[in-house]
Structure 1
Amino acid sequence: MENAFESAILNSEKDRPLTWFLKQKDRLSALHPDMSDSMFNLKILRKCGGELEHAMKCRSVEPCLTEDYINVMEDIITITGISKTWTRVPMESKMVSKTSRED
């Protein structure tokens, strides 16, 4: 169970923030049943990593409820696309021919 929590990283293209967050919270509550909700949220927040973690910390006030973290996470992902991975699309080598207008 601990390995599943440690290896789970949010991928916004595959995972919905609500299901991912609640799944991580369930895993943590199975490992540490006496942990407080604010500690659950902080541990899960650290799993987001990088820019998403920073953006969530800037937009939320601690201690924050689980629902608030989920709402902030969904807003950040949908509005900014901050955790998306961008793939480079190869440029097609199409020659565009210009035609002259005939009057």
Structure 2
Amino acid sequence: MSFENDKYSVEKDPYEWCLRQSKILKAITPQMNLQMRNHKILTQIPGELKHAVKCRCNQNFTLDHIANILQDVRKRTNIGKHNPYKSSGFKEKQPFRLQFKDKPRERVEEVAKKVIIVTTVAQQTTMPKTVQRQRKKSMILRKAQRRNSQQRIVTQTLLEMSSENNLMKRKTQEKDS
């Protein structure tokens, strides 16, 4: 198997493929340095996989880096995988139909009648101003009552705590004397 014909695919084990490619290059051109060899191996990776590896590599990458990145891309992404569920034939396109041409247009008078009906119904459902004011006043009163009751509870608990503290002080004073 020659170096040029052995392109990487997702089905191949990345560690074995990288090692095999490195050995082939070493046998063909022993004078080639390691960095040039790694770049040459990178050229054997097709399209999107090559881009994914280049994006994840730093400038001084080794054969281990390439294999690890290929393994990572293979596990975590769908790059290079073929979808077995894709249809083999092309779909017949349906002719484009404009939706609004099929619908009959309403006349301006009918639309105006609908608007008038909606506004009169909305006006009937609104409350008179006096009722709105009364509701607002009662809501404000309820909020004030809640605040007052909460303040009473806080003051009662503070008084209870202070009385308990006073009792404790008296008991300690009685024990001391």
Q: How many residue pairs get matched?
A: 87
- Ranges of 4+ aligned residues in structure 1 off by more than 4 Å: none
Amino acid at match of 1:32: T
Task: Give the unaligned 5+ runs of structure 1.
Answer: 91-103
Cα RMSD over matched residues?
1.5
2:9 is aligned with 1:11: yes
Distance 1:58 1:89 in 2: 28
Task: Give the unaligned 5+ runs of structure 2.
Answer: 88-177
Taking structure 1 as the reference length, the TM-score comes to 0.76
Q: Which gives a bigger RCO, structure 1 or 2 (Cα 8 Å, sep 6+)?
A: 1
Distance 2:80 2:35 in 1: 23
2:26 is aligned with 1:29: yes
Identity level (%): 34
Amino acid at match of 1:35: M
Partner of 2:51: 54
User: Structure 2 matches for 1:88-99, cutoff 5 A?
Assistant: 88=85
Taking structure 2 as the reference length, the TM-score comes to 0.46
Structure-2 change in CA distance of 1:20 and 1:57 (3 Å): same
2:65 is aligned with 1:43: no
